[in-house]
Structure 1
Amino acid sequence: MDQKFRLLIELGAGEFEHAQTYLIEYLESTRCMLKSWIASEIMQDAGLYHLAYDINATDSKLFDEARRKQVAAIVGAKAESIIYHYCACDWGGFLTHTSQEQEPIFYDRYTARHFKIDSELVHNLCELKAAIEINRVLHHPSSIQKNSERLKILFGQIQEQLSAPAQRKINQVLSDN
C-alpha cells in the first residue's frame, strides 16, 4: 500500500479507516486510468485519494481548515485542492454551467458558497470525474446498460474539458456496451 495512502488512513480521512481490499483496488485503478491518460502525478494522486473527504462522512470537523492542511501535507496542496473540490462539488449545478460558460460557477455543498473557478481546476475536476465514472463502469460492467444514458449526458456536458485519451476511453467503453 502506498505511503501517502497509509497516512490518509491514519488521519482518518473519509471512510478509509474502513477500507476493504476492493476499495483499495478501486482507488488504485482510478489512479492507473489517469496515468494511462498521461495525467500529471498530481492528478494521479487526486485519483488515488479522491475519497479523502468522503460524501458520507459524519464528522463535521472533517472539512475544517486544519484537516485540509493535514491532507495537503500528505498529498500536496494541488492534489488536495482537486480532491476537496471534487468531493465538495454540487455536480448538478456545476455541470449545467460547465457546458455553457468559460468560467463555470462552482457550487461548494460543504460551505453553501458558489464562485467561479479557473479553467485548470475545471479541466482537472472533469478529468477526475470521467476517470471515476469510467472506472465504476469497468468494476461493475452490468451497470453500463442501466447508466448508459446518464453517462452519455454527463460526458456530453464535460467533453470539451477532457483530454483526448479520456475521450477515447469513454468512446471505447460506451461503444462496447
Structure 2
Amino acid sequence: MTENQSVPAPADRCGIEDFLRSRDAADLPHPGGTLLEHLTRVRRRLADWGASHEIQVAGLCHAAYGTDGFARSLMGLGDRPVLAALIGERAEALVYLYASCDRTATYPRLGGDRRPVFRDRFTGADHDPATEDLRAFLEITAANELDVFEHDRELANRHGAGLRLVLEPVRHLLSAGAWEAVRRWPGGRGPAA
C-alpha cells in the first residue's frame, strides 16, 4: 500500500448482510428461520448486552466458516482475507476463533484454576487465547446458543442445561447482560443433557 492509499473502512451492517446474502445465508434453513435471520438476532442480542461493534460484527458473521455445531460454511478458510477486508481484521479473527473451536475438546477446559486451552478443529492445534478474545468468544457463544435454543425445543432439551454448566465457571468473563440471560434462561436450570 502506498503512502497516499488508505485502508478501506469495514463495511456497515447492511453491506455485511448483503455479503452474507450473496453467500446464501438467507436461503439456508436454521432454527428460527434462515441462517441470516439467526445471525442478525445474534448480533442484536450482543448489541443489547453492550458488546463492542467488533464483537457484534463477529457475531453477525460467526458462521462464515461453519462451526462445530453447524457444518455448512459460507466461505472457505482460504477466503479469510476477503472477510477481513469486509469486516476488519479483529472481527475476522474473532469469527475464526469461534468457528475453529473444537467444542468437545475446549468446553471441558473452560474455567477452573487454569487458563482455558482451545483446540482448533481445523488444525488440531491447541492454543491459549488472549483474555479479550476469550471474552468475545464467550459472549458470542452465549448469544448464539440462546438463540438456537429459543427456536429449537429439541436442541434446547438435549443441550440447554449444558450451556449453563459450560459458562458458569467463566461467568466472570461474560458481560452482566450475557450472564443474566444465561442464568435466567429456563432451559439452563436442569441437569446437563
TM range (shorter): 0.7 to 0.9
1:63 pairs with one of 54, 66, 77 = 77
- The 3-state SS of whatever aligns with 2:119 is strand
Amino acid at match of 1:63: L
1:161 pairs with one of 167, 170, 173 = 173
Structure 1 residues 143 and 175 mapped into 2: Cα distance closer, same or farther (>3 Å)? closer
Identity %: 25
> Which stretch shows the higher mean deviation, 158-167 or 68-77?
158-167
Instruction: Give aligned pairs, total.
Output: 171
Q: Based on CA coordinates, which of the two structures has the bigger radius of gyration?
A: 2
- The 3-state SS of whatever aligns with 1:2 is helix
Alignment partner, residue 8 of structure 2: none
Alignment partner, residue 87 of structure 1: 99
TM-score, length-scaled by structure 2: 0.76
Structure 2 unaligned regions, length at least 5: 1-12
- The 3-state SS of whatever aligns with 1:54 is coil
2:33 is the counterpart of 1:24: no
Q: CA deviation at 1:175?
A: 7.1
| In structure 1, distance between residues paired with 2:184 and 2:144 | 15
Q: CA deviation at 1:123?
A: 0.8
Higher relative contact order, structure no. (Cα contacts within 8 Å, ≥ 6 residues apart): 1
**CA displacement, residues 42-69 of structure 1 (integer Å, 9 cap, x when unaligned):** 111111111110142489x8112xx111
| In structure 2, distance between residues paired with 1:57 and 1:25 | 16
| In structure 2, distance between residues paired with 1:134 and 1:17 | 20
TM-score, length-scaled by structure 1: 0.82
| In structure 2, distance between residues paired with 1:3 and 1:58 | 19
- The 3-state SS of whatever aligns with 2:34 is helix
Q: CA deviation at 1:121?
A: 0.6
1:118-129 aligned within 5 A: 118-129=130-141
C-alpha contact (below 8 Å) 1:105/1:114 kept by paired residues: yes
**CA displacement, residues 144-164 of structure 1 (integer Å, 9 cap, x when unaligned):** 344343223222243232111
| In structure 1, distance between residues paired with 2:16 and 2:113 | 36
**CA displacement, residues 5-27 of structure 1 (integer Å, 9 cap, x when unaligned):** 222443x4xx6374356322211
1:4 pairs with one of 16, 19, 23 = 16
2:48 is the counterpart of 1:36: yes
Structure 1 unaligned regions, length at least 5: none
